[in-house]
Amino acid sequence: MIDVTLYRRFSQDPAAYRESLVVDVDGRPKRFGEVMDDWQRRDFEALDPSVLRCLNRWKGDAPPMRAYFERARGASKTTDIAVMACYLLAFAPRVLRTYAFACDRDQAGLLRDACERLIRLNPWLGKILEVKKGVGVVNVAVDHPGFGSTLSIETSDVGSSYGLLADAIFFDEITHWTESAEALWASILSTVAKRASCVLVGISNAGFVDTWQHRLYEAISADPAWIFSRKDGPASWIADSALEEQRRLLPNSAYRRLWWNEWSAGEVEPALCPTDVAAAFSRRLVPLFGSEPCWGYVAGLDLGVSRDHSGLVVLAVRRNEYRDDTDQIRLAYARRWRPPKGMKVDLMEVEEDLRECVDRFGCSVAVDPWQAELLGQRLSFDGVNVESIAPTAKALREMATKLREIFTDRRIKLSDVDGLRSDIERLTLVETAYGFRLRSPRDKRGHGDLASALCLALVASDEITAADPAFRVVTL
């Protein structure tokens, strides 16, 4: 707890507030002053005059009221915004209207949680600030000069902010905002111009060139009216082992952008290392003709009708109680259907073959609901466990990550059935503002249909094994 004297000191000295603040560090409470990196301290100190001016406590010349800090992933972006926002509210001498804009609902939730953790770990803050349940709003308590002040946490897809009259606005991870959010940014910028004492602060990772965010970054970094700093490379607390794992599993452009804070041109690169692909294929792989107790089975189905082929892959995943030095995942069955010239794939034949696999292996089935919604409903009605994996940005990113993880860890054995190896070798990774994903060329050999079916099965196997402790993939 703090007394009146200490409260007054903090109100005049944001650095003293930060040094004594308790924060969460890997689940343990620590003094912020003990764990801050030098670049964090410099960013905060550069902004302090602007914050004090917002609170009518700055005595010197008018400082810049705009700030943009660019940092890599894990470099305390959201936490530092929460630290600044809570300071403004806790030491407000009048009613303040403050806002924070995040890229989406999940990111907004992270900022809300960061504020809640600060309030919980610092009981004296809990006497002043309260996070309203279920909404992204922080209120200032009664019996405080700033009673009625609020921090409203919004997403970048809100309709408009032209009607706002703000004392402070924070924007988080603006490089992940959508293209349409450029209009929101324009309204935010015009909003802060309404009050000379309104402070605007943003912290974000590097993004993609040829975007409105990159044009904004170039303009801000050269504008003396903005406080600007850039932190190249990972934060000191990111372990080398964690970085190595990220390097193995992410596309190189994504790894460099996220962890080294380098702007990306969205380069296309091979999805897998050729040696990892070669290690996965074996001519001596013994076929599986039916269900065996040491294996669990999952099928992935990628449907095409006229332009694309259809592909079915059944994977066997070794059950936990049978694990040994043998393969953890192996191919049980694969088949491709090519549309005859001028005709379409016989979807009834595909369904018949899939049902035979379900009967033979007792497998669950993973499908893209946009392609196979009706088939999935029929299978579910007949008691088959169907996993619908829609091609959302998150699911596509998970497919790419899972594929790289399984192949780089050498946890899968395959045979080259019906061109499966060619499909896998032609896969590339491409990173966009909406995440990275696998891409396959469309030609007479199809559109990577067996590789797509394999990825669906891999993602579904991960979900199944997580749900059943007796049926999970483990690293040997």
Residue type, 185: W
CA 303, chain centre distance (Å): 28
Domain ranges for the chain: 4-252, 269-467
Distance (Å, whole) CA 271 – CA 403: 9
Residue range 269-467, CATH number: 3.30.420.240
Can you identify the CATH homologous superfamily of domain 4-252?
A: P-loop containing nucleotide triphosphate hydrolases (3.40.50.300)
252-260 vs 240-249: helix axis angle to the nearest 10?
Answer: 150
For 48-84, b where at least 16 C-beta lie within 10 A, e where not — what string? bbbbbbbbeebeeeebbbbbbbbbbbbbbbbbbbbbb
From 448, 476, 474, 450, select the one nearest 462 (Cα to Cα). 474
Identical topology for domains 4-252 and 269-467: no
Q: Tell me the pTM.
A: 0.74
Distance between CA atoms of residues 190 and 209, nearest Å: 25
DSSP secondary structure letter of residue 409: T
Nearest CA to 316 out of 363, 379, 368 is that of: 363
Backbone φ and ψ for 79, nearest 5 degrees, come out as -60, -40
The tens-digit pLDDT sequence of the chain (476 residues) is: 678 899 899 999 999 999 999 999 988 999 999 999 999 999 999 999 999 999 999 998 999 999 999 999 999 999 999 999 999 999 999 999 999 998 888 888 899 999 999 999 999 998 889 888 765 677 777 668 888 888 999 887 666 556 678 999 999 999 988 888 898 899 899 889 889 999 999 999 999 998 999 999 999 999 999 999 999 999 999 999 999 988 888 888 889 999 999 998 877 888 898 999 999 999 888 877 777 778 889 999 988 755 667 899 999 998 765 555 455 899 999 999 888 777 788 888 888 999 999 999 989 999 888 777 888 888 888 888 888 888 888 888 888 889 998 999 889 999 998 889 999 999 998 877 667 888 887 666 556 789 999 999 999 886 545 444 433 333 22
